[in-house]
Amino acid sequence: MDISIVVPLYNEAESLPELQAWIERVMRDNGFSYEVIYVNDGSTDGSWEVIRSLAAANPAVKGVAFRRNYGKSPALNTGFRKAQGDVVITMDADLQDSPDEIPELYRMITEEGYDLVSGWKQKRYDPLSKTIPTKLFNATARRVSGIRNLHDFNCGLKAYRKSVVKHIEVYGDMHRYIPYLAKNAGFDKIGEKVVKHQARKFGKTKFGLDRFVNGYLDLGTLWFTGKFGAKPMHLFGLLGSLMFFIGLVAVMVVGFGKLWAMHHGDHYTLVTNSPYFYIALTMMVLGTQLFLAGFVGELVVRNSPRRNEYEIREEI
């Protein structure tokens, strides 16, 4: 099978028939063998009945329904587990992404050798309250992930080589960072294609402004787990040592300062009168705490079944 199209959806009943017809048209015109996997993320608006009738009309349509709304990431992950095509395409169900982009995305994966190609909604049809923070968000994601050539991490329209989706796990709200997940899994040929974007025709957006807060927190998590997931002590130990060292210097300043003054018969006061005393106190306590966090982290890692998770690309 050439292509699997994975469509996560939550209350998008009105858009589905039009989307399916459009996909079918593109697939037929290009002669692809394909499947469309609709993952119904707990819709309450009759989306599932629509998928049922689409599946009855076309055997290439497959559907999975969650018992309740879990989020876009679990929906994508479910589609990824089921996908059988050589190239896997993800797209939103709301008709904002155009199926006309699929043939070119497919070509970039199969002929140009990309592992992942992300869409770039260069010209967006979304409110300003969304487009401006998005620019900032993408700039941060580029820096943190080291994927310098992506402008639009969270574009719903993406294409993957099959092995990519089988080797990454999208959980929580990590769908915003799939290129970063892929990079952490060793797939580094990541490309981008400018794609057409349209205003939402039916229904409304499922994500509010909290997306930016959560997005930044998740970016921190990915940075941490990617770099230190298997060796937390390397981060906490470094920070702890640094703090402890600052504390030690401060202790010496207060301690030796007082001894010196006593020895030379100068005026001296209680060590608690010195600001260095408080610096020493805080820094040493914090340093010890960080060390403990590091040790606890190492204990957690030691017991994790994924402590030695790596992928072998090939063997001779």
Sole window of 91-99, 108-116, 239-247, 284-292 interacting with Mg ion (rule: CB under 5 A): 91-99
Candidate residues 12, 101, 115, 192; the one interacting with ligand UDP per rule CB under 6 A: 12
Interface mask toward ligand UDP for 88-117; x: CB under 6 A? ----xxx-x---------------------
Candidate residues 167, 206, 231, 258; the one interacting with ligand UDP per rule CB under 6 A: 206
Q: Is 152 in the site for Mg ion (CB under 5 A)?
A: no
Interface mask toward ligand UDP for 136-175; x: CB under 6 A? --------------------x-------------------
Taking the complex as a whole, the smallest distance from the CB of residue 76 to ligand UDP amounts, in Å, to 8
Sole window of 6-14, 99-107, 189-197, 240-248 interacting with ligand UDP (rule: CB under 6 A): 6-14
For residue 27, what is the enclosing H or E element?
A: helix 16-30
Q: Is 35 in the site for ligand UDP (CB under 6 A)?
A: no
Q: Is 63 in the site for ligand UDP (CB under 6 A)?
A: no
Taking the complex as a whole, the smallest distance from the CB of residue 183 to Mg ion amounts, in Å, to 25
Q: Is 66 in the site for ligand UDP (CB under 6 A)?
A: no
Of 170, 141, 304, which Cα lies nearest the Cα of 230?
A: 304
Query: Which 3 state secondary structure label does DSSP give 101?
Result: helix
Q: Which residue has the tokens 């592992």?
A: 115
| Binding-site ranges for Mg ion (CB under 5 A) | 92, 94, 96
| Binding-site ranges for ligand UDP (CB under 6 A) | 8-10, 12, 41, 69, 71-72, 75, 92-94, 96, 156, 205-207
